[in-house]
Amino acid sequence: MQSKNKKPMTRFERAHVEQVKALPCAVCGTEKEGREAHEMKQGLYFIVIPLCPDCHRGHRNGWHGQKAMWNVMKKTEELCLHETLTKLYGGAVC
Ligand SMILES: [Zn+2]
Ligand SMILES: [Zn+2]
């Protein structure tokens, strides 16, 4: 799936993505501006996790790089997704 073929978000998906991006980075926990929503499968907007640019696309630290920070923090996409949904719906805001 190339990005130009991505289907547009529904308003429900957009609302979900906005909520996710308001959470701290799922890997390093930073609340700095500019967090991005990483789609675990491109175009599936309900399985997104909040990442700072470095944990997302950083050459060394990022998911789309060498995943150094992911390894240090012992994070997986599935774990991050679970933690993200827990923060949104489980009432365990931290
Ligand atoms: Zn991060
Ligand atoms: Zn991504």
Q: How many domains does the chain have?
A: 1
Looking at residue 1, what is its pLDDT?
A: 43
Q: Which residues are near ligand 2, the ion (C-beta closer than 5 Å)?
A: 38
Ligand 1 centroid to Cα of residue 62, in Å, is 8
Contact 20, 49 (CB under 8 A): yes
Q: What is the mean pLDDT of each run of 10 residues along the chain (94 residues)?
A: 71 97 97 96 96 98 98 98 93 57
Query: Which domain covers residue 29, as residue numbers?
Result: 8-87
Looking at residue 7, what is its pLDDT?
A: 79
61 found inside a domain: yes
Distance CA(16)–CA(28), nearest Å, equals 21
Looking at residue 66, what is its pLDDT?
A: 98
Distance CA(17)–CA(39), nearest Å, equals 10
CA angle at residue 35 from 33 to 37, to 5 degrees? 160
93 found inside a domain: no
* Sheet strands (E) in the chain: 36-39, 48-51
1 found inside a domain: no
Tell me the CATH number at 27.
3.30.40.190
62 found inside a domain: yes
